[in-house]
Every structure is written in structure tokens, then in C-alpha cells.
Amino acid sequence: MGVTEFDPRALRDAFGAFATGVTVVTANDAAGRPIGFTANSFTSVSLDPPLLLVCLAKTSRNYETMTGAERFAVNILSEAQKDVSNTFARPVEDRFAAVDWRKGPNGCPIFSQVAAWFECSKQDLIEAGDHVIMIGRVTAFENSGLNGLGYVRGGYFTPRLAGKAVSAAVGGEIRLGAVLEQHGSVYLLGDETLSIPSCTVEGDDPARTLAAHLEQLTGLSVTIGFLYSVYEDKSDGRQHIVYHALAGDGVPREGRFLGPDAAAAAKFKNPATADIVNRFVSESTIGNFGMYFGDETGGTVHPIAKKDARS
């Protein structure tokens, strides 16, 4: 029987439909220096004995050191730690200089403000194609009570903040909108007076509803990212939930993508939309994004992501 061949990218995208948490796996090299990498291929295995597993690509620059270590730790990142995930997912020279960490009871690097952490002794290594499965026996752990950072279809999501947004919108008609980005440009509809794409909520999954609407509107693949703005517009009596989203390559069927300068100079349908687009343009230049809570005239912005989280 022949081996079935799949397009690796298509298979990876299909695997990405499964929502996971985000972890950073850490250990020490032979000289006692900390090493680590971002991983969402983590799961609990057993309570008795206490076992967990993570998967490590054989192409990882940490492969030899990590598989040779007798102990490792798994840090489950919290909702506010997208920047930590991005740091440890990239070939940054001194990753640990960018995070607050300490040594665990058995010496492995443990991060501050994580949802939970587990320090493990190496139980087993199992060959698994282009990865190796590292099974660890938990020797120490801590659960902070913070909610974990989510990841699905190439983008982060924050369950607590999403729930808060939907709860805040209960009691009025909910309108979903998107700051849809493609290589730094933002997607807008209209000719002289522009607007961001929007739709009404259908069902109990706002992100899925919005993604379907955007894909039908543009004809492009769309990944919904983090919440960008949650506000009540007293002028129309609606609650608005706006997400940041990423569009795949291509020309949209309707509307167009405008670069930052053109978007900042555009005329918009209403002041709330102008504020959203102008904030996006401003935040893009410095690489820090936030989520707005309030109404159409005033509110607060909560920092939730850095520019690297958009990859």
C-alpha cells in the first residue's frame, strides 16, 4: 500500500483548527544556562503517576539540549503573555532577558504571571516522525488561577476577555466589526465615506460568524485575532464588538486595503470608526496594540498584544 502524501501547509492548517493553549517549555543546558521554546503541543497524560507530554520538532535549535536534559518545565502562558509566546517562538538571542523568571524547586526556569507551571523529570522520549514526544513526570507545580492564552488557526485568543466582551454586550443589539489587516494595510468599504466591515451576531460564536462574513465579503482567507474594541454607541443604540483580523494574500472582491497614510487621511462614516482606524494606524507604528472598552465618546485602552502577535 502506498503512502498517502499531503500538502504540508494544508495539513498544518487543518491541525490548527484545534484550539489549544500556549506554553513555553524550559530547561537548562549543560552549562546551566536557561533555554526555552514556545509549544502548543502539550497535554496532560496521567494523574497517577503524574505525567504530561510536549512535542519538540527535530529541526529545533533546542533539540539536542532539550532531549538531553534530565529535567524540564512547562509554563502555561496567561492571557496577557502573547509577547512572551512571540519571544520564545523566534530566534531571539537572549530570550530570557525579556521575561521575569526564577528557578523552580529543581532548577528549571519558571516564569512569573503564568496560568500554571509544571516542573518535570524526564520520563521517556518517543520518536514520532519529524518530532519527538517528551514525557515528563511532574515533580512540582503551581496553579495561579489566571486564565490561559488560547491559540487557534494561527491566531491568539483570550477566553476571559472574549467572554467579558460578550457579557458586556448583553441587553442590546450586538454588531460585530473587524479591523482586517493585510500586510499592514486595513480593509475598508465605501467610496468617499468609508467604514470597516461589520455584521450582526448569529449563533453563540461571534468570531466564527465574523470570519464567515469577512471571507464571503472579500473572497480571501481570514483569521480572527484578538478583541480590539468593545463599546456602546448611544447614537445607534447598539453594542459593538470589533476584532483584529488577518487576511490572506489576494485582491478582495469588494472594498479595498488602504495603507496607513491613506487610511489616516480618509473620511469615515462616523467618529467611532474613525477613532478605531486611527488608533490602529497609530498602534501599528509602535508595534503595541490594545483593547478599547467604553462608548463612542470615551473609554479605556487595555494593552493586550505586541506587533509580533500578528504573525
pLDDT at 203 over 70: no
The lowest-confidence range among 8-12, 104-108, 276-280, 290-294 is: 290-294
Check whether residue 94 and residue 174 sit in a common domain: no
φ, ψ for residue 308, nearest 5 deg: -65, -20
pLDDT at 308 over 50: no
Report the percent of the chain where pLDDT is more than 90. Answer: 43
Check whether residue 226 and residue 279 sit in a common domain: yes
Check whether residue 40 and residue 110 sit in a common domain: yes
Check whether residue 230 and residue 245 sit in a common domain: yes
pTM over 0.75: no
Domain ends where: 151, 182, 200?
151
Closest CA to 30 of 57, 75, 54, 66: 66
In the Cβ-directed half-sphere of 295, how many Cα atoms lie within 13 Å? Answer: 8
Check whether residue 173 and residue 249 sit in a common domain: yes
The residue type found at 240 is: H
What's the structural domain count of the chain? 2
Check whether residue 118 and residue 226 sit in a common domain: no
pLDDT at 215 over 90: yes
Type and span of the H or E element at 125: strand 116-128
Average pLDDT, the chain: 83
Check whether residue 305 and residue 166 sit in a common domain: yes
Residue 176 near residue 199, CB atoms below 8 Å: yes
pLDDT band for position 166 (cuts 50, 70, 90): low
List the domain range (segments joined by +) for residue 93: 8-151
**Angstrom distance (rounded) from CA 56 to CA 135:** 11
CATH number of the domain encompassing residue 93: 2.30.110.10
The pLDDT of residue 106: 93
Encode pLDDT of 238-283 as tens digits.
788 888 888 999 999 999 999 999 998 999 988 888 999 999 998 8
Residue 1 included in any domain: no
The pLDDT of residue 159: 58
Check whether residue 166 and residue 138 sit in a common domain: no
Q: Which residue has the higher pLDDT, 311 or 81?
A: 81
pLDDT at 69 over 90: yes
Encode pLDDT of 102-160 as tens digits.
999 999 999 998 999 999 999 999 998 889 999 999 999 999 888 888 877 666 766 55
Q: Tell me the CA distances in angstroms from 18 to 14, 41, 165, one per residue in order.
A: 8, 11, 23
Q: Which of 91-95, 231-235, 261-265 has the highest mean pLDDT?
A: 261-265
Check whether residue 74 and residue 112 sit in a common domain: yes
Residue 3 included in any domain: no
Domain ends where: 108, 134, 151?
151
**Angstrom distance (rounded) from CA 9 to CA 23:** 22
Residue 278 near residue 293, CB atoms below 8 Å: no
Residue 157 near residue 286, CB atoms below 8 Å: no
